[in-house]
Structure 1
């Protein structure tokens, strides 16, 4: 099935003549998750028919137009305006899907049914060169406004879903914001989409910028340090919609004049605004941006100086890395307990000789990246040491060791009642959400398991061991590798078989981990393995038969069965065989925290067990590449 969608970014729509074919502000050929081209002549014919229909159709339903052409797999779904419909074919001449953004509208077509579904990716962003001098206060104030407006926008009806507002950040800086969803999104999907874009904008791509346009296929946001929209009155389902921008009625001279004014005035205003902004940033944008980059480099240098500890002091703290201080050992090194002269207890990871070959500069850059990941559900990074070939990473010490020490121990597991287990599941989910969507760095952990979740004194979970983690660029969705790094049973099939990994790889691992937490059984040592049954297949079978509660650990005395069933449902969604069907972590957190949300029914999971993994030959050697 094919599709196309367009909606205005502001409350009025400025139609541009077709023959101008103005370049898009941003465009993407091929959806992020469905990136392929077609040689199907029927599809191409239907697409051109649809675009021609759109360019000749002057009627817009409150700025939103959708249409479809064709049957079955040759069908094209769509919405559009003249200039975008003409331009998209020039920029994406052969792709099955494309998106194009102008300041005042968006066009989208695809070979899948894009109606009634939320997608926040692929994303675009257009940012101001000017950075605020008070980033923390700016982000906090703007974030509060944006979340408030997101809730208002989500309340809109099937005609419009948008909201506008403004806030004083300082006495000299005022921010104006507009948030919008395509109108056929459900309230929950609209809110979820906007929150993802807001987090992406404020914490990742456009940190502390005073002006940003960002969005995806189904929602977008914009904020500036000047008023850019026609009206600041938010629209909701309780507010009657404003009349359409213009109507056509023959024989009315006054209305014709009014139509001309409605069209001409916004166009002239927009042109003047573009000229003003261009001149403003041309004069003021270059020096401040260079100054900001220099300041960031200086801040990184100061941060590295603060993080670097004396090797001799750390060595003495671990009693010369004595075996009595050893906490554990993994593929990337050994972890020791230490006590600094100040009395603070630390955990020291001494990297193995394989990793010590890393250059000092590269090691420091890696340590700096880890230090920037700060979240209450991540193990806190305290510093690093280097001496010749020695490489040490210093973390906070957590007294309750790792989750597997409790979960799979026949005595200690009794301490983990359902309340504690549910708290641990929620904490791990929030930690992953931070890594994937909320931090300034997009990180795929690649080795999430019970052994890499540490517990503090209050049994709060903290994700640890970033030895296999990969840093993604802002516009990267997945990567591949010939060197499979991870733990058997926690890795999804697309990673094991083809070397492809993404945030959905971590989602799969999370699903397996949730099943372990509920059942108290380790995926690699599942009791039914002798009969060829895995933990995942056992959970799926009993879920399908209506006996999902058979999965619960027998040591748990009292449970909230509804809560357990929701967790099993979410876990099975996370381990679905098709990676594109697995939820992102923001959706997982919402499902865990809200009982008003209807959780989707999972599809067939990936029945991948340890024997399958051992029999898979690794793909040919190649470097990690962007998707």
Structure 2
């Protein structure tokens, strides 16, 4: 359950100096019960946890101000986490967490679930194991990272630009300035994943010197999966701009992430980062933050009374601001034109177009459901037709999508520079208001998974056509790895990202997760592991190491899927194995490879089928160094007389099923926390 409370407080000196709390609805406990005793143990243990100890001679980092714990056995287990803001010292942090426990016990009396926010810290405890979301990507949905409570606070009803008679341009400048400052802060958190915390001071030169600096801070729970952290902060940054646009200060407090900005320095001296249109300067040292006291609490009921009265005045202000802002929106330059200038795409690629949002609306009949081609993890895909008759496919990135602005920009900059018959053609994009749209050539036969995993449609793709598809994908990968102007690692090669044209020729798509390699690069490491389980090479899934051999592994998985007509993973039983790789390896070792071949094509058995299975097993070998390059793969596919080496065992081949596990199998579901793809025709 997500609670969103908007508090608009007039003339308050700072944000959340008193505690705010939300009591959950999971149930209550009784005095001296096991749950009560476990909670008491936890309240003594958590504030004293080692992450809150000051490191000698160093500043306390965001990761040092976080602790999580669980006490007791199910069903009386208490799960808890505590997080202090990165600008708080360890002593104040410990005091704050202890005070938060007192507030929770008093205000949520005998409640099993409570969340308490102070200006310095947050505390959450529950009888539900919400801590699993920190590491278990398969459990999380698009809303899980804001689970618990979300409190939006603005401490003044007076807009930042109130009283300035400088015209609408001044208002727009301020709103854009605050937006850029918040975006920069979120981006710095994303680039600084070790701490999950960032704070910057941003200034702008508007020619008058009248716009004050903006001090901003953003933070996630340090162990939160990086993609969820980024999504969480992006969402609350959008909430801040929606609810506080142009105001002096605001804060959003959540159980997994929080964000705050102000016109006074509420944190210590920190490093600033430059931004487009912003001139960062060192932040001055503020007055030391006092430790919160459990006395003189401000109850939430009192705040709600204020919230009932304040909207009358706030509504009046919002109407005035909205009226002036809407008038200006009609006259201002479209956002996508600014972005095109920033990216340097306009004018440099005559085949790439920056479309106006109204053009795309008209082409897709206002994103009509009748025009919807499918639903991907990043948002829906629609068919469209421009006035000149050109058919298009429009990927409309959802606001909650994990593919944020970085991936959106990445795909545009990459694919706009790549031209190959086996790569999908990106015609242009639209980045306007809150919309992020990618416009592709329309491919009428949807994606590869639409055919090979369907009992009826797979019969339409005979062996010769499947072999052509395998060879086409290989040619596209070889181009990316070796022959293009950029050396590109795709990182998300899978059946749903292989689109088919009217002749079922394959085209690799979806470059949002791709990475550019230098000429001399052979391998890189990343902490942000993205892609799709089942297609990930083992060194990438476990250690974050990726290279051209990562794509080779995914390609090998694809070959096995194309030959067999079966998905690589899911809760299926493949003989003694739970994945297709181990099953294929066993059948090949026992010279029963024909049993792997899709029944719809098995009657016309061909030695080319066996060669493809061997090539696939070479590609999915556990050791990356043993895998062939795409040049080697092309050579093996092209020459029937070429002797193939004997493959070593594949990755994950040891993942077997016991008889007990077989009885617990359920229907297939996606384990992919980055992209969950449906039929995605373009």
Q: TM-score, normalised by structure 1?
A: 0.48
Name the structure, 1 or 2, with higher relative contact order (CA <8 Å, separation 6+): 2
Q: TM-score, normalised by structure 2?
A: 0.44
